[in-house]
């Protein structure tokens, strides 16, 4: 069995159905990827675990229940007394573009890697997945602990997938973000960036430029997401532009990139070639943006494999 660990923050999500009606869910970029990854793979093929920190309140229990319902392992997640998860609200405009309002300054996940008690080694996992949002919620000393643990894991043969997911509000400035994110790119084997993020952060003029820069940092395999224009893939030997079929209408673009990441990783981890993995990733992302919320209902996706639901 292949084992994957996704780490970061899962928040309470409130999505506008109308101007005055909100629907409650649980979401967060690396959790979204973990959830779709679990849905796309049979339990005998792949196990997905999640690492974060939660509190002991009702909404922390709601997050844990959501993870377990997806078949995601929660054994590594500490619950700190008196803490609670972050919260965000999402609304979409007429074009399906998302707009977020966050309440996460005291999210329990900010304690991740904050002490030896919430640090972890990653031995036993075939892949560890994280994003720059994982990095930006951590204090500098916690980022150092995470970086050191990932470096040890990589040096022992572990593989890391990384989505740079640049959000300016989470950093003191672009220079700090660029420097920190580059340090983690140097550890990654699989790169899953979004071109608009790389253009905003590093000034890349085309997805191919992003590919060349990340290859120079040692990333082995790179899929640069570029919205309706598709993806630029470096498969370890050559770079190619792989188009996608535009989706109309786009109802909600939330989690499109996270779903792409999940489908790409699911395909690659089960032996599919990179170009076909991109095709499957485009298909899932296109389905997700045709529905509201980060995690869409089961019935709009291909039938999921039966998966035992972890109790811990």
Query: What is the count of structural domains for the chain?
Result: 1
Inside any domain, residue 284:
yes
- Local structure of residue 146 (DSSP, 8 states): H
- For residue 274, give its domain range: 2-189+250-300
Inside any domain, residue 122:
yes
Residues 6+ apart with CB under 8 A from 103: 86, 87, 88
Inside any domain, residue 128:
yes
Single out the catalytic residue among 57, 93, 258, 298: 258
Q: What gap in Å lies between CA 21 and CA 185, rounded to an integer?
A: 40
Q: Is the entire prediction scored with pTM above 0.85?
A: yes
Question: What are the backbone angles phi and psi of residue 35, rounded to the nearest 5°?
Answer: -65, -50
- Local structure of residue 54 (DSSP, 8 states): B
Inside any domain, residue 215:
no
- In the beta sheet, which residues pair with residue 170? none
Inside any domain, residue 54:
yes
Inside any domain, residue 80:
yes
Inside any domain, residue 177:
yes
Written as tens digits, the pLDDT of the chain (312 aa) is: 899 999 999 999 998 888 899 989 999 999 999 999 999 998 899 999 999 999 999 999 999 999 999 999 999 999 999 999 999 998 877 776 778 899 988 999 999 998 755 556 898 999 999 999 999 999 999 999 999 999 999 999 999 999 999 999 889 999 999 999 999 999 999 999 999 999 999 999 999 999 999 999 999 999 999 999 999 999 999 999 999 988 878 777 777 999 999 999 999 999 999 999 999 999 999 988 888 777 887 766 655 454 444 545
Inside any domain, residue 283:
yes
Q: What gap in Å lies between CA 161 and CA 191, rounded to an integer?
A: 6
Residue 298 appears among annotated catalytic residues? no
CATH number of the domain to which 29 belongs:
3.40.1190.20
């Amino acid at each position: 069995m292949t084992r994957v660990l996704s780490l970061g923050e899962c928040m309470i999500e409130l999505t506008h159905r109308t101007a005055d009606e909100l629907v409650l869910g649980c979401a967060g970029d690396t959790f979204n990827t973990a959830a779709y990854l679990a849905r796309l793979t049979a339990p005998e093929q792949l196990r997905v675990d999640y690492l974060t920190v939660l509190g002991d309140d009702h909404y922390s229990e709601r997050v844990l229940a959501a993870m377990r319902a997806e078949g995601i392992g929660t054994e590594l997640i500490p619950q700190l007394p008196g803490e609670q998860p972050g919260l965000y609200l999402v609304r979409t405009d007429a074009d399906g573009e998302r707009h977020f309002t966050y309440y996460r300054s005291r999210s329990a996940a900010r304690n991740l890697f904050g002490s030896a008690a919430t640090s972890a080694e990653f031995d036993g996992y075939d892949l560890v997945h994280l994003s720059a949002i994982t990095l930006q919620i951590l204090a500098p000393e916690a980022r150092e602990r995470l970086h050191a643990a990932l470096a040890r894991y990589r040096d022992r043969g572990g593989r890391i997938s990384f989505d740079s997911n640049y959000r300016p509000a989470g950093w003191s400035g672009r220079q700090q973000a660029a420097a920190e994110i580059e340090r983690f790119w140097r550890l990654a084997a699989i790169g899953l960036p979004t071109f608009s993020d790389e253009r905003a952060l590093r000034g890349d003029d085309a997805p191919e430029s992003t590919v060349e820069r990340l290859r120079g940092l040692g990333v082995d395999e790179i899929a640069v997401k570029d919205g309706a224009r598709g993806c630029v893939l470096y498969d370890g030997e050559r770079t190619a532009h792989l188009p996608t079929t535009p989706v109309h209408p786009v109802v909600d673009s939330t989690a499109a990139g996270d779903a792409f990441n999940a489908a790409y990783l699911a395909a690659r981890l089960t032996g599919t070639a990179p170009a076909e993995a991109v095709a499957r990733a485009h298909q899932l992302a296109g389905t997700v943006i045709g529905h509201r919320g980060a995690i869409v209902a089961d019935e709009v996706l291909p039938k999921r494999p039966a998966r035992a639901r972890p109790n811990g």
